Chain A
Amino acid sequence: DVKVTQSSRYLVKRTGEKVFLECVQDMDHENMFWYRQDPGLGLRLIYFSYDVKMKEKGDIPEGYSVSREKKERFSLILESASTNQTSMYLCASSSGQFPLLLSPSGANVLTFGAGSRLTVL
């Protein structure tokens, strides 16, 4: 089974701290994603990467950066955490060439990690 592992299930940080959320996938997937999930707002895409060292902004990139130095690892960085970044963060990966959803195969299916719940005080 494809596994996407997020390093921390729960984190508590203070305002202004630098926060790293790590995600590792073990199926050699080309594409990796970071979402945040908030009640009433659903899943919103922060950043994604379709290749090593490549990244593209999603719908809400402000206040975040990402790093993909190796194919299996995609990190989300909060340079200076703020209380409005308290959320559930979800990492996902998929195979297949970008853009997605143009393939009849299941290659574009997203596999998610269990999530990292971040609280910023």
Chain B
Amino acid sequence: DAKTTQPNSMESNEEEPVHLPCNHSTISGTDYIHWYRQLPSQGPEYVIHGLTSNVNNRMASLAIAEDRKSSTLILHRATLRDAAVYYCTRAGNNRKLIWGLGTSLAVNP
């Protein structure tokens, strides 16, 4: 199956790190991994993407397994505003993004 696999939900406490896992075991060698998040009542927004190396930006870090079959989005210090559904995506056979069902992240104050 080309879809990515993520846990349905996760919970974190404010100001603690959060590691959101994603399995994409059928990914091909040239496909980038993209992460998006969707805040309540909004469209998804881009978070980060990568190919093989770990990536950092102002929002998060992306750790990609050496075999590329999985990746982890890292929020270094969760805030209440990070409560959202996080989607890990990859290219499908027709080269368009394939979306999984995402992980709903709850952040406790």
Interface of A toward B, CB cutoff 8 Å: 4, 40-45, 48, 58, 90, 92, 98-102, 104, 106, 108-115
Contacts and interface: CB of A to CB of B under 8 A. Distances in A.
Contact of B95 (A42, A90, A99): A99
Given A100-B96, A101-B32, A101-B97, A115 B42 contact: yes
Interface stretch (B15-23, B44-52, B74-82): B44-52
Contacts of B43: 4, 90, 92, 112-115
Task: Tell me the dominant secondary structure on chain B's binding face.
Answer: loop
B105 interface: no
A40 B46 contact: no
Interface in B80-109: 87, 90-91, 95-97, 99-102
Interface of B: 30-32, 34, 36, 41-46, 49, 51, 87, 90-91, 95-97, 99-102
A109 B49 contact: yes
A101 B95 contact: yes
Given A44-B99, A108-B32, A115-B43, 9 more contacts: A42-B102, A48-B96, A98-B95, A101-B91, A101-B95, A102-B30, A102-B95, A111-B45, A115-B42
